Amino acid sequence: MTGSDERSETDSDERLLTGYSGRVLIAISVGWALVQMGRLVLSPLLPTIIEDLEITPSTAGLSLTLLWGLYALLQYPSGRLSDRLSRRTLLVGGLILAVTGFALFTVATTYPIFLVGIVVLGVGAGLYPTAARALVSDLFVERRGQAYGLHTASGDIGGATAAGLAVVALAVAVWQSAFLPIVVGLSAVAVALHVWGREPYRVERVPLEIRATARRLLSSSRTRRLLFAYTLYAFVWQGATGFLPTFLQAEKAFTQGQASAGFAVLFLVGAVVKPTAGTLGDRTDSRRLAAASMGLGALALAGTILLEGLLVIGLALAVFAAGLMAVPPVLQAYLMDVFPDGTMGGDLGAMRTTYITLGATGPTYVGVVGQYASYRLAFFGLVACLVVSGTILLALSFGGD
């Protein structure tokens, strides 16, 4: 049974968090929260990791780019495989690899071990989210935006928890200890998805049909512009989240704890905003809503750069988070409406591979500009990217389909 067959065996859209559909939605969302928690805890830990492993900010930025780059490159193959094999195969397999990568971090006392963990985690994390989103789309149709909002918000809960996890780990132990609860939690989710899965495991050769997928996506002017807009957004998201704690400490004289709290604000706000934005996206023009959100985010990020004072910067970060985090559930639900049902997972994966791969250069950009100029200048570049992306989406909404 493929992912498209799963829909017929699930419960009604009206029971969003109950029955089989709700149980699976909760499980894959908890898995996504833990994957995000483990990846994003690297950001508040980054100054300590740089010092402990004796690496430069540029090297640290390249490591994050490698993590996000591998994650991105696996999006299309994972989506295509989940269409042809089963969602369950990709979800459980991805979690097993992610657990292995996080386990390597717990024993990383040198940069080479850390780098191997980055590679294994990048592959495991890359297999998981496209299959998870495709399964959400299988389970929910009429309330797809709301379901996406809840699912993507789980990642923000993980991100917010990551900040606290970093503070506790550094206060009572060493940075490597932060990954122990991630290993335990993801192992439990993998077992749950194995037990609850209705699809069989399938492992066989699947043609990726990259050229056909590329032609299908790039033949449309609308899809090309959406891809470019989302790439700019991904560049901002990865650059900002990768170096926000470092920016706050270097440019705003925040303590490590204050910088971690500022980082947590992004995801605490996102956990609230994403379900709301997803619900609004079901009722209004998704592109205009995303454009307005990016405009708000750009204005708030500029305020974060220019303003001074702990409280003022905290408020600016909260508004920035509201704008930034409202975008994914709105645009991803819109994309799933655009893609054909039979190739939905692969098309979403191809789109994600492209924009996340290109967006993965964000941390390297911020690290290099921060090292040789200033983090302030690097973050002003992120503001410009949000403005351009929002303008493209706004033009699309008035230009029609």
Q: What would the two tokens of residue 331 be?
A: 């645009």
pLDDT value at residue 298: 96
Confidence check: pLDDT of 378 > 70 = yes
The C-alpha atoms of residue 163 and residue 37 are separated, in whole angstroms, by 9
Q: What would the two tokens of residue 94 be?
A: 């991805």
When pLDDT is cut at 50, 70 and 90, the band that residue 1 belongs to is very low
Confidence check: pLDDT of 5 > 50 = no
Mean pLDDT taken over the chain: 83
The distance in angstroms from the start CA to the end CA of the chain is: 33
The pLDDT tens digits of the residues spanning 295-343 come to 999 999 999 999 998 999 999 999 999 999 888 878 777 776 666 666 6
Q: Which of 160, 159, 366, 364 is nearest to 251 (CA)?
A: 366
Confidence check: pLDDT of 32 > 60 = yes
Task: Write down the residue that tokens 């495989």 correspond to.
Answer: 81
Q: What would the two tokens of residue 329 be?
A: 């559930």
Percent of the chain with pLDDT over 70: 89
Average pLDDT over residues 177-194: 92
Q: What are phi and psi of 196, to 5 degrees?
A: -85, -15
The interaxial angle of helices 310-325 and 286-306, nearest 10 deg, is 160
pLDDT value at residue 344: 65
pLDDT value at residue 399: 67
Highest-confidence range of 55-64, 276-285, 311-320, 348-357, by mean pLDDT? Answer: 311-320
Per the model's pLDDT, the better-predicted residue between 395 and 153 turns out to be 395
Q: Is the dihedral of CA 236, 241, 245, 248 positive or negative?
A: positive
Length of the chain: 401
The C-alpha atoms of residue 31 and residue 39 are separated, in whole angstroms, by 12
Q: Is the pTM of this model over 0.75?
A: no
Task: Write down the residue that tokens 């089989």 correspond to.
Answer: 20
Q: Which of 198, 152, 281, 275 is nearest to 7 (CA)?
A: 198
Which amino acid is present at 122? G
Average pLDDT over residues 63-89: 80
Confidence check: pLDDT of 10 > 60 = no
275 with 150: CB under 8 angstroms?
A: yes
Confidence check: pLDDT of 193 > 80 = yes
The C-alpha atoms of residue 131 and residue 230 are separated, in whole angstroms, by 19
The pLDDT tens digits of the residues spanning 79-113 come to 777 777 778 888 998 999 999 999 999 999 899 99
pLDDT value at residue 263: 82
The C-alpha atoms of residue 328 and residue 325 are separated, in whole angstroms, by 7
pLDDT value at residue 8: 41
Average pLDDT over residues 278-284: 74
pLDDT value at residue 95: 94
The C-alpha atoms of residue 386 and residue 391 are separated, in whole angstroms, by 9
138 with 10: CB under 8 angstroms?
A: yes
Q: Which of 82, 275, 92 is nearest to 192 (CA)?
A: 92
**Structural domains of the chain ordered from first start:** 18-200+208-399 (1.20.1250.20)
128 with 9: CB under 8 angstroms?
A: no
Count CB atoms within 10 A of the CB of residue 306. Answer: 11
Percent of the chain with pLDDT over 90: 30
